[in-house]
Amino acid sequence: MKKFNFLNIAIDEQEIDIYISGDIVADNEKELYDYFGVESTSPNEFKQLLQDNAGKNLTVHINSRGGNIFAGVAMYNALMDYKGNTTAVVEGIVASAATLPMVACNKVRMMASSVVMIHCSSVAWTAGNKQQLKQDIKTLETIDDAMANAYELKTGLSHDKILKMMADETWMDAKEAKRLGFVDEIPFELPQDLVASMVASHKAIYAQLVDNSEKLNYNIKLIQQDYNTDFEYLKAKNTLKTIGV
């Protein structure tokens, strides 16, 4: 059986289970995440896995708070283009960029204890004069529209309604996600008070994970800017390890 950085388990020759977990990251950041043992998924390895299993029935298990929006879009496009049946399973949390591969699948199943969250795109930091900042706003608006298009195709909701949900950072339990069309099936149900408690817990954990991830991303980008050669890159990884990120 082939092994990947994210787990691939073959049930039989035509049924494949894929697990997307951890941060969704750009391909050029994947090695640094692996080096520090930070769980992540990148587009190239994901697309390669789809190519290796072309035409088979895929069950894509997702437990990810999101990450790089462009990496998420690349995974969305790969699944939309996949020649075979695809089923997404929402396990734990599926938020931000991780919702894109979810809605690309033919069918979405969501565990009753899980949550889905959609919001507007963001940048870790920005700088420049007012014209440059205005251009950043236009870029973010374009990205938001692209994400809303993907959600609209899945749910049938209006574009404006989806953009409003994104602006409000909308958290959905399984019942709400199914009512709005993001999810097709809920295998089992739980008492609503327990579900509400789980959603609150997911929100709190998400906030902490985002804070930690932003610190890691910031240091990775600084090192990528400062070190260009392979030899310098290796030194950069040791530097990052030394500062305790």
68 inside domain? yes
214 inside domain? no
What pLDDT does 45 receive?
Answer: 92
61 inside domain? yes
204 inside domain? no
Q: What is the mean pLDDT of residues 88-101?
A: 95
216-222 contacts at long range (C-beta below 8 A, 24 or more positions apart) = 216/36, 216/38, 216/245, 217/29, 217/124, 218/124, 218/125, 219/243, 219/245, 220/29, 220/32, 221/124
Q: What is the mean pLDDT of the chain?
A: 82
Please tell me the pTM assigned to this model.
Answer: 0.80
Total domains, the chain: 1
245 inside domain? no
> In this model, does residue 108 exceed pLDDT 90?
yes
pLDDT tens figures, 187-239: 877 667 666 666 666 676 666 666 555 555 655 555 555 544 454 555 555 55
Count of residues making up the chain: 245
What pLDDT does 231 receive?
Answer: 42
* CATH code of residue 123: 3.90.226.10
The distance in angstroms from the start CA to the end CA of the chain is: 33
Rg (CA), the chain: 19
CA distance 174 to 96: 16
Determine the structural domain holding residue 175 and report its residue range: 8-193
What pLDDT does 14 receive?
Answer: 82
